[in-house]
Amino acid sequence: MSYVIGIDVGGTFTDAVASRDDGTMISTKTPSTPPNYADGVVQVLEDLAERAGLGMRELLADTSYVAHGTTSTLNALVIGDVGKVGWLTTVGHRDSIYIMNVAGRYAGSSPEQVQDILATRKPAPLVPKRRAKEVVERVDYKGSVVVPLDEDEARQAIRELLDEDVEAIAVSLLWSFRNSAHERRLRELIHEQAPDMYVTLSSELSPRMREFSRNATTIMSTQVGPTLARYLEPLTDRLRDKGLRGPLLIMQGTGGTLAASEAPKTAIQTVGSVLTGGVTGASRLAEQLGHGNVICTDVGGTTFLVGLIVNGEPLQTTTTVINQHTIDVPMLKVQAIGSGGGAIAWIDAGGNLRIGPRSAQAVPGPACYDQGGTEPTVTDADLVLGILNPDNFLGGRKKLNLARAREAIGKYVATPLGMSVEDAAAAIFAVQNAQTSDLVRKVVVESGEDPRAFVAYAFGGAGPVHCFAYGAELGVQSTVVPLGPSAAAFSAYGLASSNVAVVKEVSKPSTFPVPAEEVTKTFEELEDEARTALEQQGVELVDILLRREADVRYTMQLAELPTPVPSGTVTDDDLKKVLADFEARYHRTFGEGTGFGAAGFQFITYRVHATGVLPSKVTLPAADAADGRTVADALTGHRPVLLDPARGFEKTPIYDYVRLAPGHRISGPAIVEVPTTTVTISRKDTAEIDGFGNLVLHHNTEECS
């Protein structure tokens, strides 16, 4: 038999799922091990092997591949732990990354932050000016060479960068996406003087128009490429030494994987890789359950993540913002706030209770972990409210210290606010539920969707604890808590069920009508590039799936929307249908009547999503039948639990999930204890176990309205 393994490395826990080709699936989670996350990967594999009744070498030797979501690139960018990078650009255009299109003062900020003009600041420059060098060259918007590359001056600029002891060089020239010859020649000149230098070309990484975002994308990818390589290369060797024969695959923000040997070349695309695993897993589960519209919510130890699946497809975005820099990275559209189980509760200068974004993470962890953490967290509040069982956290593998939780909440929240520890814990619980509900509503509504047309999925260690609140608040009819063998390692399940994926794109701005033959030619060239890139992964594929889209906008406007384009030879009628689809999407996103077709239309960027289908198909197996067991057999007792501040602590039935089976129904209030999480059922809800072992909450939306 053969396994497929998914590993999700978070700031607090490292989760893993192993799926066997006979449908058997096992999962586990262990604390993450910052700053050396590779140790946590090995630890979780050892635990996984033990649960499979195997030695680690035996498990890895029988593993087809390991799919890994890494935080190394995102963490490096967020905290500024990046490599010493040099940058080469067209003469006269060096200051683009310092001017930042003016948007650098507020990119990625909330509306409230944007309005506080005096508090807005530009971020630190991506590269100091002494390491930003200009070269004489010029290509025009059509791709014609206006000024040839001055190679002697370029060699001198490269020499000056090498004298600065840079470990990597980014090359991003004006209009290089129309003609990459000068960028490719600069790479040759760099390697003449430094054969092993890590080099990134904007024409290969991000061949899109808009100078600043292309420059920022290229520089930031160059900053973390060597860092990612330094993480992956020894990890790959370490897993090989422990018996892994299959490839190590790295999750991308697009929801697909790349070979570990190829991932550092496009390092920026791994940003958000652990954010997308849950959405990918939800997409696979939605196929099995027949859900077309899903709100994906993941409450981990550090963050609360929200993504959407609409009409069976995860929503994607073509840009994202990191440290106030806009970068061109196609990825699944996932929004996050620092509101996980480890989010710290604190009182601001105005005496208001706040939750996050700071997190206790795995080290030292929440106060109740008794590992040196002293500040109160959401997990501490959940423990004080009776939701969590101090003797049965992570299936009893970790004991929680109630006294430490009470002490932390008392010192930092209860005493400053003049309330009891219990009331302070209830306040933390309420604020956490309110801000998670706000983010979910924001994501759904700003995407032009009605939450009542969706089913919510709740995963992550703390997601099942809080989903009853934001699920009912949204007005969704039901919330699915994926349990069974994936349980709180659901994002790892998403990684294991992912295929290999690459995205190829190029900007060719043109005003409609665009010659259909030119559109066909552009897409065929991108598809050839995509197939070649998949072949370079060195992974066995059973099929290659291609999907086309074009970024379309009203003439001279900025609101471009990715719009599907049919495969094969594109006709004029096809392009008219693309425009009609664009207008429908525009109205759905921005509101009826907001479009302006009289302005005309422009095609800006052409894009191909290529999926390499892996031989192993990971799906959730059906759960075991009840075999005479009843819900009463799963009842383990009662304890005081506070779910509704208006009602206070109530004697609440506690159920053991392991003893539940498909068809069993539970009325709230109730607590279901799972080996890797805890599910809360409010008084207004009922719950049932479906055929895959998932717990489905049915919300009484009339009472909640």
Q: What is the DSSP string of 388-430?
A: S-TTSBGGGTB---HHHHHHHHIIIIIHHHT--HHHHHHHHHH
What DSSP character marks residue 292?
S
For residue 18, give the nearest of 6, 30, 29 by alpha carbon.
Answer: 6
Whether the Cβ atoms of residue 177 and residue 328 lie closer than 8 Å to each other: no
Which pLDDT score is estimated for 705? 37
pLDDT of residue 322: 79
* Separation in Å, CA 474 to CA 277, 310, 457, 648, 683: 23, 16, 13, 24, 17
133-142 tens-digit pLDDT: 999 999 999 9
pTM (2 d.p.): 0.83
E strand spans, 521-676: 543-554, 561-565, 601-613, 635-641, 650-656, 665-667, 670-674
Two tokens, residue 211: 């100078």
pLDDT at 704: 40
Q: Residues in the chain, how many?
A: 705
Read off the amino acid at residue 356: G
Which residues fall within 8 angstroms of residue 12, CB to CB, at 6 or more apart?
31, 32, 300, 301, 302, 340, 341, 342, 359, 360, 361, 362, 365, 461
Strand order in the sheet with 635-641: 635-641, 650-656, 670-674, 677-681
Map residue 33 onto helix, strand or coil: coil
d(CA 522, CA 29): 45
pLDDT at 79: 64
pLDDT at residue number 121: 84
Q: CB within 8 A of 4, min separation 6: which ones?
A: 18, 19, 63, 64, 65, 67, 496, 616, 618
Residues in Cβ contact with 230 at an 8 Å cutoff, skipping those fewer than 6 apart: none
Pairwise CA distance, residues 158 & 170, whole Å: 11
How far is residue 378's CA from residue 339's CA, in Å, rounded to a whole number? 8
pLDDT value at residue 411: 96
Any idea which architecture 502-613 has in CATH? 2-Layer Sandwich (3.30)
- 519 vs 206: CA distance, rounded Å: 19
Q: How far is CA 587 from CA 270, 312, 555, in A?
A: 32, 20, 16
Q: Please tell me the distance from the alpha carbon of residue 173 to that of residue 90, in angstroms, as a whole number.
A: 5
SS3 at position 233: helix
pLDDT tens digits, 250-272: 999 888 999 999 999 999 998 87
Q: Where are the domains of the chain?
A: 82-224, 343-432, 502-613
> Which pLDDT score is estimated for 567?
96
CA pair distance 681, 631, nearest whole angstrom: 15
The 8-class DSSP code of residue 625 comes to P
Euclidean distance between CA atoms 173 and 184, whole angstroms: 11
Per-residue pLDDT reduced to its tens digit, 138-154: 999 999 999 999 999 99
The yes/no answer on whether domain 82-224 falls in CATH 3.30.1600 is: no
**Residues in the chain with pLDDT < 50?**
703-705
The SS3 call for residue 671 is: strand
